[in-house]
Amino acid sequence: MKEELLQRIEELGEKLPPNTLDQLIDELGGPENVAEASVTSGYLILIMGIFLPVMLLAVYAKVT
């Protein structure tokens, strides 16, 4: 059962879009070009009377 679940997860991973943080790091040339990367969630902002969740993404590229 465990092997079957792992296989199904692997198949599903091929159909999903890339992780946003991983995609951004790749676009910057890989981990060797990124000094720090972090994701923060749990913030809410109020827009037109509706609270919306917000995820903050911070990526700092290395300066050469």
| Cα dihedral: 31, 36, 42, 44 (round 10) | -110
Residue 12 inside a domain? The answer is: no
Q: pLDDT per residue over 45-58, tens digit each?
A: 777 887 777 777 77
Q: Which domain holds residue 34?
A: 18-64
Asked whether residue 48 is assigned to any structural domain, the reply reads yes
Q: Is there a domain that residue 27 lies in?
A: yes
Torsion of CA 10, 12, 17, 23, to 10 degrees: -10
In this predicted model, what pLDDT tens digit does every residue of 3-47 receive, in sequence order?
998 898 888 888 877 777 788 888 888 888 888 877 777 777 777
Residue 25 located in a structural domain? yes
User: In total, how many domains does the chain have?
Assistant: 1
Tokens standing for 5?
A: 């679940």
Q: Token pair for residue 23?
A: 């995609």
On whether residue 7 sits in a domain, the answer given is no
Environment class of 52 (CB within 10 Å of its CB; exposed 0-12, middle 13-18, buried 19+):
exposed
Q: pTM here?
A: 0.48
